[in-house]
Amino acid sequence: MIPTLDLLYSRCDEVGNCRLWKQACTAQGLPIISLSAKQRGMSVRRIVYKLTHERGVIAGRFVSPSCGNMKCISEHCLVQRTRSEYMIAAGRLGAYSSAATTARLTRVARSRSKLANGIESAREIRAMHAGGAPLSEIADEHGITVSAVWKIVKNMMWREVIVTNSVFNQRTT
């Protein structure tokens, strides 16, 4: 059974020209619907596109909203895109890495670290190594592995990231 547009739109909130899906979504936030208990979820966007366009969806293409709202299933917003077009559009909306995203991810990873004082401890480890202390002694003092100390000394872990306006200007010290 293929649902009708009225059934699908009854499960949405109307916001301007967009119709925002209120029901089940994938882990990535894409609207899905299960037509039977045995069937896995189908893309609501593909169903709406098939119902509103004579040609339907071309194989291998994505149906995505031009408005940028992941939950939008409005026939006015849906467009077919190739994978590269989809990735470019998602990148414009901020879905992929930027200097700010890299800095945020680095902060989160460092907050979960074993180093007590974070970047200050890493600076201290580098200074101790420069002063001639053996890696094993540094590791014991800070409660981390010799491997982690070596990576900190070689600037492979706990690099000091300087965030600038562009990803191309991002540098490490």
Q: List beta partners, residue 62.
A: 81
pTM, 2 dp: 0.54
CA distances from 158 to 12, 55, 85, 113, 128 (A): 46, 53, 36, 10, 15
What would the pLDDT profile of 93-131 be if each residue is shown by its tens digit?
A: 766 666 777 777 777 776 666 777 788 889 999 999 999
Task: Give per-residue burial for 24-54: e unless 16+ CB within 10 Å, then b.
Answer: eeeeeebbbbeeeeeeeeebbbbbbbeeeee
Number of domains in the chain: 2
61, 92, 123: which is the final residue of a domain?
92
Domain identity same for 54 and 79: yes
The reply to whether 87 and 125 lie within a common domain is: no
Shared domain for 87 and 107, answered yes or no, is: no
Work out the pLDDT band at 22, boundaries 50, 70, 90.
very high
Higher pLDDT, 173 or 73: 73
Same domain, 77 and 130: no
Q: What is the pLDDT of residues 123-165, one digit of tens each?
A: 999 999 999 999 999 988 888 889 889 999 998 888 876 655 6
- Are 128 and 163 in the same domain? yes
Query: Is the pLDDT at 18 greater than 70, yes or no?
Result: yes
Could you tell me the residue range of the domain that residue 128 belongs to? 99-172
Final residue before a domain boundary, out of 65, 92, 119: 92
For residues 60-66, give the mean pLDDT. Answer: 90
